[in-house]
Amino acid sequence: MERNEKMTERNSAELKRIEKETNRRLLSLEVVIGWISAVSFVALLFAAIHGDMRLWARILFICIGAAVFAVGMYQCLRIEHDAGYYECRNCGKRYVPEMKSIVLAMHIGRSRRLKCPYCGKTNYHKKTLTK
């Protein structure tokens, strides 16, 4: 019985470590996707403004840049939602908010101003990698 409990604890710790590492990699990927989409948008916008081309080509460049940026930001927000949890500063509970809350919430870095589903307090909740 004790051997089973030790094995269960070891497996639980290993799963927690794997979850933490996976979430860390996903959030690193989010940063890469965000930078690539933002730089692409700015480069295409700059090319449209300063390039010697026809009006329809300028509009096409701006539309392609906006589409790349929109898709990139959607993927970043999707990763932000799926990877990790948010921890309430008031009650300390960790939870995954709705996608709508992630999109509309003000944020500073990885902290977002959210309403805790447990205590109901609105505060900046910090992103954590494991539950």
Are 34 and 74 in the same domain?
yes
**In a shared domain, residues 54 and 10:** yes
pLDDT of residue 82: 92
Q: What is the rounded average pLDDT of the residues 127-131?
A: 89
**pLDDT level of residue 5 (50, 70, 90 thresholds):** confident
Clarify whether residues 78 and 89 are in a common domain. Answer: no
Same-domain pairing of 47 and 60: yes
pLDDT at 109: 87
58 with 104, same domain: the answer is no
Number of domains in the chain: 2
Check whether residue 75 and residue 117 sit in a common domain: no
- In the chain, what's the furthest Cα-to-Cα distance? 77
Residue range(s) defining the domain that contains residue 107: 84-131
Sign for the CA dihedral angle at 121, 92, 5, 12 comes to positive
Instruction: Return the pLDDT at 104.
Output: 94
Q: Are residues 77 and 13 in the same domain?
A: yes
- Examine the domain organization and report whether 69 and 93 are in the same domain: no
76 and 88 in a single domain? The answer is: no
Structure confidence at residue 62 as a pLDDT band (50, 70, 90)? very high
Q: What tokens were used for 74?
A: 């959607």
* Residue found by looking up tokens 């996707």 in the block: 33
Q: Quick: pLDDT tens for 15-60.
A: 999 999 999 999 999 999 999 999 999 999 999 999 899 999 999 9
Question: Does residue 126 sit in the same domain as residue 64?
Answer: no
Taken in order 54, 36, 124, 99, the sign of the CA dihedral is: positive
Let me know whether 16 and 71 are in one domain.
yes
